[in-house]
Chain A
Amino acid sequence: MRFIQIKHLLHLYNTFFTRKILNFGVLKHPFIRVLLLASFIVLTTLITFLVFSFFTSTLQSKEAVLYLLNTYSLSIILWTFVVTFFLKVVFSKVDGFLRMTINFPISNKERNFSIFIYETFICFTFIFIISFSVVLSIILIHKLSFFDTLIVNLIYISTITYLVLQVISKIIAYICSCFKISKLFHFINLLILVLIFTRVFRESKELITKLSNDFIEKTNRTKSFLLLFQQVHHQYGFLITTLIYLIIALFLIGIIIFTPDRSYMENTKHILIVKSKRVSLMKAYVLSSLRNVKTLNSVALVYFAVIILIIFHLSNFILYTMIILALNSIYSFIYSQNLRQITYRFNYVAWKDYLYLVASQLFIVYIVSLPIYFLGLFIIDSNINILFPYLIVTLGVLMFVLAGILFPPYNDNPFSIITSIVVITAPILIISVSLTFLNLSTFLNVLLIVFFYIVIIIFSIQGLINLKRSFMHENGIHNI
């Protein structure tokens, strides 16, 4: 394996990230960048200050610090899960992200290792940002007294958790390719990660209770595989712990490098379901989403989320899982792009296009929700939890279709969906907070929300008109 080639690939990914993500949409503007950076610094400083104040008053003894760090390490495990899961979801949204390297003079191992390093970098950047306040506060209060504990509880725990999850993903990718079901890799991978997360989450909850009891009773009875490194560190010291950590880490990295994996090279996006002889335009819009593997992944996630909610005795909220599928509407515009370009040759009408987009997404969501609805009739307590999710999902589809039109999450950019979501949710948050503070009557609130959605619809149709004009190199912006 040639590290110079890996370095070149990392530089390529970084250039891709900088040009495609940091220059995407509103992020191009220096003012927005400065604003975001300033907000981040202010928020981090504020949180660090609050954490520092809290720790100063509470972390007076060594036992208190160890208790905090042990419980915090459990949340780090969960955060590592979340970030890894998030990375897998994001990269599953990119079709053959690594296909741009297909004619490079590099081996598959070098390619896979480079993407592993890049994912690791992103993951640990997030973990660092999340842990920054806690780590800084402890160092400021106790200087380097707990430095080794910090390294074990944060770095070693998060690294091993991350590597284990990567190994699991690699094994799943390998099994999928052996059984020729590579199209389903992302779906199976995400499901298994969710299953493991559920198990770890339950275990963490129990452990926190046990650790709290240990702290109160001044005992050390709690044992768990999630606290393996902490227990080894407590018994055998930092050096032995580091040795064990290095052996395990190198072993896991070895598996990651040497397991064949072509999952990032896959470019197949569709599965042939719901065969049809005649395909009307509306049907074509529905099929453009329904046959896409990502939509099917979302459908599976919805049903899986229902099962998770039932297991956790949260059956009242099972219909809210449709929001996962509503989020998929953000892709409806790009899924139907080829259809649109065909219809440009005929009498294209933007509002009809918009209607097809929204109707096709709502059709999919409602059909998928039917089994959950019928189940809900038996297990959901109140009618509010049956009707309200449908209202949320319908309004959500309108919003996410708009996001997909204004900031299309094209397939070559795994992070554009984040920008799309952020740009849409930001004004919604502002409006929601404003409504809360304005304290208007219910009637006025409803009126404002209706007005807001009329604006969304107008913006969406205008967006489609502008896109057609741009496609046809027309001068000037024409209104509806």
Chain B
Amino acid sequence: MLKIQNVKFSYDKKYQVLDNINLQIKKGNFLALIGPNGCGKTTLIKLICDLLENQDGIITLNGLLNNDFKAKQSMVYLPSDDILPEFLTGREYINFMLDLYSIPLDSEYLSRLAKYYSFETALDTLIEEYSHGMKKKVQLIAAMLIDPEVLIIDETLNGMDIESCEITKLLLMNFSSSEKIVIMCSHDLHLLEEMCNKVVILFRGKIHTQEYIEHIRKTTSLLSIFKDIINHKDLKNEIYQLNINNE
């Protein structure tokens, strides 16, 4: 279980990006982490992965602090910006990541993943020559081969073609069904409703909504919840009023 307790964070000691976040993510949870830009999603993810110094609160994975080496070895983070060593080929990058996680290479699984993503020939090309979507694919292939306990994806599906998106959906849903944790940040609410079983909506540094997707589907939708958060009705009237005034 991934436990986030009383976590607070501020970059400039003036504005609280995260304010007293409490969250428990169990094995088998495929969590959608959503919110407007600047609400603290990436900050929370970086805190979980110990890429930001914890200012307040505790984050633990199976009882271990998140900065413990064993905890770090159990997590894979796929960031939104492509921090990839461009001087390596895709295959070299995958082997390098497996070495860092001390995981032996499953050649057969790699071949299968490469086939699913139509990536066989690209594996031996420099990452520098990859398109944006290809960079996402190689990161996903590495993550699948590492098979961590916690997989955190920050907008990784952006820029992938439809076929690869569908394949990724299937792989991730299969991954989380085997008692793993997946945390996914995205603005594609339809995609998240399809894949995830739990949602956390962050708004102004706090948890606005924490619910299971099936409960949300019974009464409303993620988009409707979002519209309520941003006061969509009032905004709509205000914007339409602009047009009337201009006429």
A residues neighboring B (CB under 8 Å):
268-270, 272, 275-281, 284, 287-288, 291-292, 335, 338-339, 341-347, 469, 471-475
A270-B86, A473-B11 as given contacts; A345 in contact with B49, CB under 8 Å: yes
Cross-chain contact of B85 among A288, A346, A471, A472 (Cβ < 8 A): A288
Residues from 79 to 104 in B contacting A, C-beta threshold 8 Å: 83-89, 91-93, 95-97, 99-100
Q: Which residue of B lies closest to A289 (CB)?
A: B87
Bound form: Cα–Cα A469–B97 in Å: 23
Known: A279-B99, A291-B126. 11 other contacts (CB 8 A): A270-B128, A277-B92, A278-B99, A288-B87, A335-B87, A341-B83, A342-B83, A345-B49, A346-B69, A469-B53, A475-B53
Bound form: Cα–Cα A293–B20 in Å: 49
B3 near A: Cβ within 8 Å?
no
**Inter-chain contact B51/A292, CB cutoff 8 Å:** no
Q: Which residue of B lies closest to A292 (CB)?
A: B87
Bound form: Cα–Cα A343–B77 in Å: 12
Cross-chain contact of B53 among A268, A272, A277, A474 (Cβ < 8 A): A474
Q: How far is the CB of A390 from chain B (nearest CB, A)?
A: 27
Q: Which residue of A lies closest to B73 (CB)?
A: A346
Bound form: Cα–Cα A288–B127 in Å: 12
B211 near A: Cβ within 8 Å?
no
Bound form: Cα–Cα A103–B244 in Å: 35
| Cβ–Cβ < 8 Å partners of B193 in chain A | none
**Inter-chain contact A473/B83, CB cutoff 8 Å:** no
| Cβ–Cβ < 8 Å partners of A281 in chain B | 96, 99-100
| Cβ–Cβ < 8 Å partners of A343 in chain B | 100
Cross-chain contact of A338 among B52, B69, B83, B125 (Cβ < 8 A): B83
Q: How far is the CB of A186 from chain B (nearest CB, A)?
A: 16
Bound form: Cα–Cα A136–B11 in Å: 56
| Cβ–Cβ < 8 Å partners of B128 in chain A | 268-270
A268-B129, A272-B126, A473-B11 as given contacts; A279 in contact with B88, CB under 8 Å: yes
B50 near A: Cβ within 8 Å?
yes
Q: How far is the CB of A402 from chain B (nearest CB, A)?
A: 23
| Cβ–Cβ < 8 Å partners of A276 in chain B | 92
Summed over the interface, the residue pairs from A and B with CB atoms below 8 Å come to a total of: 75
**Inter-chain contact B100/A342, CB cutoff 8 Å:** yes
B72 near A: Cβ within 8 Å?
yes
| Cβ–Cβ < 8 Å partners of A347 in chain B | 69, 72
**Inter-chain contact B100/A346, CB cutoff 8 Å:** yes
**Inter-chain contact B50/A272, CB cutoff 8 Å:** no
Q: Which residue of A lies closest to B79 (CB)?
A: A341
Bound form: Cα–Cα A253–B145 in Å: 57
Cross-chain contact of A279 among B11, B96, B126 (Cβ < 8 A): B96
Q: List 11 A-B contacts (CB under 8 A).
A: A268-B128, A269-B86, A269-B128, A272-B89, A281-B96, A284-B85, A338-B86, A345-B49, A345-B72, A472-B52, A473-B53
A279-B92, A279-B95, A280-B99 as given contacts; A291 in contact with B87, CB under 8 Å: yes
**Inter-chain contact A345/B50, CB cutoff 8 Å:** yes
Q: How far is the CB of A266 from chain B (nearest CB, A)?
A: 12
Bound form: Cα–Cα A343–B126 in Å: 20
| Cβ–Cβ < 8 Å partners of B73 in chain A | 346
Bound form: Cα–Cα A270–B86 in Å: 8
Q: How far is the CB of B155 from chain A (nearest CB, A)?
A: 17
**Inter-chain contact B87/A270, CB cutoff 8 Å:** yes
Q: Which residue of B lies closest to A469 (CB)?
A: B53
Bound form: Cα–Cα A276–B91 in Å: 9
Residues from 146 to 160 in B contacting A, C-beta threshold 8 Å: none
Q: How far is the CB of A288 from chain B (nearest CB, A)?
A: 5
Bound form: Cα–Cα A277–B87 in Å: 14
Cross-chain contact of A345 among B77, B85, B92 (Cβ < 8 A): B77
Interface string of B158-176 (1 = CB under 8 A from A): 0000000000000000000
A278-B99, A342-B100, A473-B11 as given contacts; A270 in contact with B126, CB under 8 Å: yes
Cross-chain contact of B72 among A277, A346, A472 (Cβ < 8 A): A346
Interface string of B166-201 (1 = CB under 8 A from A): 000000000000000000000000000000000000
| Cβ–Cβ < 8 Å partners of A275 in chain B | 89, 124
**Inter-chain contact A345/B126, CB cutoff 8 Å:** no
Q: How far is the CB of B134 from chain A (nearest CB, A)?
A: 15
